[in-house]
Amino acid sequence: MSSAPISWQVTAQVGEARAGILKTRRSTIETPVFMPVGTQGTVKGVRFEPLEDELDARIILGNTYHLWLRPGQEVIRDCGGLHRFIGWDRSILTDSGGFQVWSLTDLRKLNEDGVEFRSHVDGSLKFLSPEVSMEIQAALDSEIVMVFDECPPGKASKEFAKESLELTARWALRSRVRFDELQISNVDNQSAIGNRQSAIPLSGKQALFGIVQGASYLDLRKESLERTVEIGFDGYALGGLSVGEEKNVMYEVIENIAPLMPKDKPRYLMGVGTPEDLIESAARGIDMFDCVMPTRNGRTGQAFTSRGKLNIKNARYARDTRPLDENCYCSVCKRHTRAFLRHLYMTGEMLASILLTHHNLACFLDTMRGVRQAIRSGYFQKFRQEYIERLKSGVD
């Protein structure tokens, strides 16, 4: 029997909240985990050295759509794959490009075969399908590949959501077929990489995750889950959330669907969210998260803290000699004051975005470390309650 592309084990559980170990051919990842987003092959505003050393991120995301358009899959393949091209030796998860194409509503034409659209870069006509997405992600050589799906709006009608679900199910099967064909020829190239941090033998192949859709309709979500599990994947994701629906609706979907997802596979909530969202979703059984918020908000002057969001542009911080968060031990909070960070931001210094981004990533990753420790120690519910109460107290 051939070995698996990833290994996954739950090591502790409190209610639905799970702590576990996810191993790939490149890294050992403790879950629940937050994965920084590297859209263009880089996590915006931070070098890989602090991301590896101080922040200890074990896995990041790559964006299939953007990397396909620039520099192109051929360039990345010729440079030895995405890891070698960008200089990152730990794990990478690549999305399928489906969400980005969904966001190009006015520029795309969708049919059974795939999606035709105009590139936002140069206006050229492009076509993306399950097969093309799998081929691009094979060239990128990520550890975890996402199936190509169709993402309905959060407030889509049930009829629209049902049609989208059907299309996603058919595309998931096509993704699976093409993915498997590509892995046969790809595994020999991976064998040289080896499994550096795991005693469990891994195949060197890529893992493929299925995506559950269905908007806010629980019966459609359950149907999508059943059909996705029937195809069979290495992990399962909840897609199409945090796309316009109310937060309580998102939590309701997670609470009802996550516990039904296979218990022996990692569960991934795509594109969500704030530190509070991470904790609440982990409490409902989610293992993996990603979101652009820590980097995007850092570039616009907003810091995440243990007491909520802080807008560094606020004049009240002009003489504030405290760190961004007195409960944070990142290098930014150890060295710099709110007053200095505000000065950098107001004068347009690029260092402002770099430092705020670093702190925000530290906040998200440290929150996940706290969640994992609380689950392993059995006091997760207490940790969750105290964390939410601190957020409600607000930033002073």
**CATH value at residue 165:** 3.20.20.105
Q: Domain of residue 335: give its range.
A: 297-391
**Is residue 28 in some structural domain?**
yes
**Is residue 396 in some structural domain?**
no
At 9, which helix (H) or strand (E)?
strand 7-14
Question: What's the structural domain count of the chain?
Answer: 2
Q: Strand pairing of 302-305 and 37-38?
A: unpaired
Confidence (pLDDT) at 201 = 55
Confidence (pLDDT) at 362 = 98
Confidence (pLDDT) at 242 = 84
The confidence band for 190, taking pLDDT boundaries of 50, 70 and 90, is very low
- Asked if 31 and 144 sit in the same domain, the reply is yes
Q: Is the pLDDT of residue 196 over 90?
A: no
CA distance linking residue 217 with residue 158, whole number of Å: 7
Residue 295: both structure tokens together: 């980097």
The confidence band for 121, taking pLDDT boundaries of 50, 70 and 90, is confident
Q: Is the pLDDT of residue 186 over 90?
A: no
- Asked if 191 and 304 sit in the same domain, the reply is no
**Is residue 1 in some structural domain?**
no
Confidence (pLDDT) at 2 = 57
Choosing from 251, 266, 291, the residue where a domain stops is: 291
Confidence (pLDDT) at 45 = 97
**Is residue 381 in some structural domain?**
yes
Q: Report the phi/psi class of residue 250: left, alpha or beta, with left for phi > 0 and alpha for psi in -120 to 50.
A: alpha
Q: Is the pLDDT of residue 200 over 70?
A: no
- Asked if 121 and 140 sit in the same domain, the reply is yes
Q: Is the pLDDT of residue 307 over 60?
A: yes
Choosing from 249, 268, 291, the residue where a domain stops is: 291
- Asked if 170 and 278 sit in the same domain, the reply is yes
Nearest to 392 by CA among 320, 312, 306, 327: 306
Catalytic residue among 277, 287, 290, 325: 290
Q: Which of 96-110, 154-168, 261-275, 295-309 has the lowest mean pLDDT?
A: 96-110
Angle at CA 85, nearest 5°, toward 82 and 90?
55
CA distance linking residue 178 with residue 176, whole number of Å: 6
The confidence band for 1, taking pLDDT boundaries of 50, 70 and 90, is very low
- Asked if 58 and 196 sit in the same domain, the reply is yes
More confident residue, 324 or 193: 324
**Is residue 23 in some structural domain?**
yes
- Asked if 157 and 252 sit in the same domain, the reply is yes
Q: Is the pLDDT of residue 364 over 90?
A: yes
Confidence (pLDDT) at 98 = 77
- Asked if 160 and 77 sit in the same domain, the reply is yes
The confidence band for 118, taking pLDDT boundaries of 50, 70 and 90, is confident
More confident residue, 173 or 120: 173
**Is residue 2 in some structural domain?**
no
What's the average model confidence in pLDDT over 107-134?
90
Residue 276: both structure tokens together: 């509070």
Confidence (pLDDT) at 106 = 66
- Asked if 251 and 179 sit in the same domain, the reply is yes
- Asked if 252 and 302 sit in the same domain, the reply is no
- Residue 320 is among the residues annotated as catalytic for this protein: no
More confident residue, 92 or 188: 92
Confidence (pLDDT) at 71 = 97
What are the pLDDT digits (tens) for 249-289?
999 999 999 999 999 999 999 999 899 999 999 999 999 99
Could you tell me what percent of the chain has a pLDDT over 70? 93
Choosing from 222, 257, 291, the residue where a domain stops is: 291
Could you tell me what percent of the chain has a pLDDT over 90? 84
- Asked if 324 and 216 sit in the same domain, the reply is no
Confidence (pLDDT) at 120 = 83
Confidence (pLDDT) at 315 = 98
CA atoms lying within 13 Å on the CB side of residue 15:
16
Average pLDDT over the chain, rounded to whole? 93
Q: Is the pLDDT of residue 162 over 60?
A: yes
Cis peptide before 71 (omega within 30 of 0): yes
Q: Is the pLDDT of residue 193 over 50?
A: no
- Residue 180 is among the residues annotated as catalytic for this protein: no
- Asked if 221 and 322 sit in the same domain, the reply is no
The confidence band for 192, taking pLDDT boundaries of 50, 70 and 90, is very low
- Asked if 309 and 165 sit in the same domain, the reply is no
| SS3 assignment, position 84 | helix
What are the pLDDT digits (tens) for 12-28?
999 999 999 999 999 99
